[in-house]
Structure 1
Amino acid sequence: MDRNTFTESLTKDGFPDAVVVTREANAAMDIHSHSFEAKALILEGELQIRIGDEERTYRVGDVFHLPPDKAHSERYGPNGVTYLVGRK
């Protein structure tokens, strides 16, 4: 998905202004959750999200969606990751 289409979908789905997040190469976040819903578009690099026993890799153009309070862990690729995220 391209950035403009993604931004339009965020607006349609009631997300406020999106922000760009960058994470460093080969870093990780242990299991955690957020009180908000998150929908993000990968702009650069890659990100692995693990929920329970399932891990999925997201690359440039991919969109990930996490409901509020969903426990997950994150790992960032060898070049880190930059994504555009809406939160509500």
Structure 2
Amino acid sequence: MNTEQFQRLLEQEGFPEPVEVQQVPNGRLGNHEHPFEVRALVIEGSIDIVIHGESGTYKAGDVFELGLKEVHSESYGPEGVKYLASRKQ
């Protein structure tokens, strides 16, 4: 998916304008949750997300979703990761 397609998806689903997020190479973030839903488009690098014991790897062009207060962990590839994230309350 490209940025334009992602923007249209956000509009259709009632999500606000995304912000750019960048994480460091080989970084990790243990189990945590957010007080909002997330839709994100990876634009560089890669991110592994574990939810309920299931791991998913997302690379440039992939979209990932996190539900409200969904417990998950994250790890970032050797180039780190850059993504556009939209957060809906």
For the aligned pair, the TM-score class normalised by the smaller chain equals over 0.9
The corresponding residue for 1:7 is: 7
2: CA distance, partners of 1:34 / 1:6: 21
The corresponding residue for 2:32 is: 32
The corresponding residue for 2:23 is: 23
2: CA distance, partners of 1:20 / 1:31: 22
The corresponding residue for 1:56 is: 56
Question: Are 2:77 and 1:87 aligned?
Answer: no
**C-alpha RMSD of matched pairs (Å):** 0.6
1: CA distance, partners of 2:55 / 2:23: 18
2: CA distance, partners of 1:70 / 1:10: 19
TM-score, structure 1 as length reference: 0.97
| Secondary structure in structure 1 of the residue aligned to 2:8 | helix
User: Tell me, which stretches of 5 or more residues in structure 2 are unaligned?
Assistant: none
